[in-house]
């Protein structure tokens, strides 16, 4: 099982010299198992992913959308398979706030043989993957996904999430406890850690997490590896290196040995027995 990152940034693309290492494209990653793959989110990173796929393939492409904010769907009109008339594409995601997911930009304009499926928290299969999804805390609603393979490996993807109000005051709320149980010793947790603590205090209610909370949730849920995701557009490569240094220091201080990395555009994480 492999996870390849095509877009790691949150909110808005941030290209430039200061983001060359970790990338400036918005949320998109690919889960690969043998000859099968799943795409998670359709931010601007999905354009590069599309260029890497075989042209004029008839093999179905499956895309799981966490929510319909532009940094998670804005790259889909530039996804090469979506512009091929004969290409079957299935797009799964939560209902839109005011309009059905099926009528939201950019899905109606795609030339491919698309099928848009609105989903709410439940478990389902896209063979050979087993998938479960649940609500997490983000304005307008956001689905977290757990992907499991026949080999027994699992990845949990929580792109945008904010601690519950009581959690901000040092107490675990029912929602946070539920998410920790759902993580359930996953092999890899990929999760929003957009803010440093001082930044988070100024952005309460924006729907994103400070580093300390993401680490606490990963430890509480027994994750075997943690990858920090949804980098702030204002964070340069140098700033993100400081974030990783701080995250690892917090983990060491907690007395655990949780491996922790930063999502990096183009990087691949391999999960093996």
What's residue 273's pLDDT?
63
pLDDT at position 230 over 80:
yes
Listed range (31-40, 96-105, 147-156) with the worst mean pLDDT: 96-105
Is pLDDT at 67 greater than 80 in this prediction? yes
At residue 166, the pLDDT reads: 63
DSSP string, 109-164: G--SEEEEEE--S-EEEETTEEEEEEEES-TT-EEEEEEE-TTS-EEEEE-S----
* pLDDT per residue as tens digits for the range 250-273: 999 999 999 999 999 999 999 986
pLDDT of residue 34: 93
pLDDT of 106 reads 65
pLDDT at 165: 74
| pLDDT exceeds 90 at position 211 | yes
Kindly report, residue by residue over 232-242, the tens digit of the pLDDT. Answer: 999 999 999 99
What confidence score (pLDDT) does residue 169 get? 62
Looking at the DSSP bridge assignments, the partners of residue 76 are none
Query: Residue 22 pLDDT > 70, yes or no?
Result: yes
**Alpha carbon of 60 to those of 29, 86, 112, 205: distances in Å?**
17, 10, 11, 38
* pLDDT tens digits along 175-209: 999 999 999 999 999 999 999 999 999 999 999 99
Q: Is 28 helix (H, G, I), strand (E, B) or coil?
A: strand
Alpha carbons 249 and 269: distance in angstroms, whole number: 22
Is 70 exceeded by the pLDDT of residue 97? no
Average pLDDT over residues 101-111: 73
């Amino acid at each position: 099982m492999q996870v390849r990152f095509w877009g790691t940034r949150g909110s808005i693309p941030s290209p430039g010299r200061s983001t060359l290492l970790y990338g400036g494209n918005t949320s998109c990653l690919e889960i690969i198992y043998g000859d099968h793959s799943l795409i998670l989110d359709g931010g601007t990173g999905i354009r590069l992913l599309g260029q890497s796929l075989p042209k004029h393939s008839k093999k179905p492409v499956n895309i799981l959308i966490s929510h319909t904010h532009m940094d998670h769907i804005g790259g889909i009109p530039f996804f090469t398979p979506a512009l091929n008339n004969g290409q079957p594409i299935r797009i799964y995601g939560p209902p839109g706030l005011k309009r059905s997911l099926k009528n939201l930009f950019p899905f109606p304009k795609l030339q491919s043989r698309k099928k848009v499926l609105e989903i709410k928290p439940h478990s389902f299969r896209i063979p050979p993957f087993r998938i479960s999804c649940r609500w997490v805390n983000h304005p307008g609603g956001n689905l977290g996904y757990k992907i499991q393979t026949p080999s027994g490996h699992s990845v949990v993807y929580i792109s945008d999430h904010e601690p519950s109000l009581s959690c901000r005051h040092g107490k675990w709320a029912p929602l946070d406890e539920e998410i920790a149980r759902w993580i359930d010793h996953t092999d890899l947790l990929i999760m929003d850690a957009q803010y440093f603590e001082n930044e988070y205090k100024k952005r309460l209610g924006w729907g994103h997490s400070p580093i300390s909370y993401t680490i606490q949730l990963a430890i509480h849920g027994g994750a075997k590896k943690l990858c920090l995701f949804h980098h702030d557009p204002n964070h340069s490569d140098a700033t993100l290196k400081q974030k990783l240094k701080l995250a690892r220091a917090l983990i060491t201080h907690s007395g655990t040995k949780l491996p922790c990395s930063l999502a990096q555009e183009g990087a691949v994480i391999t999960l093996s027995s």
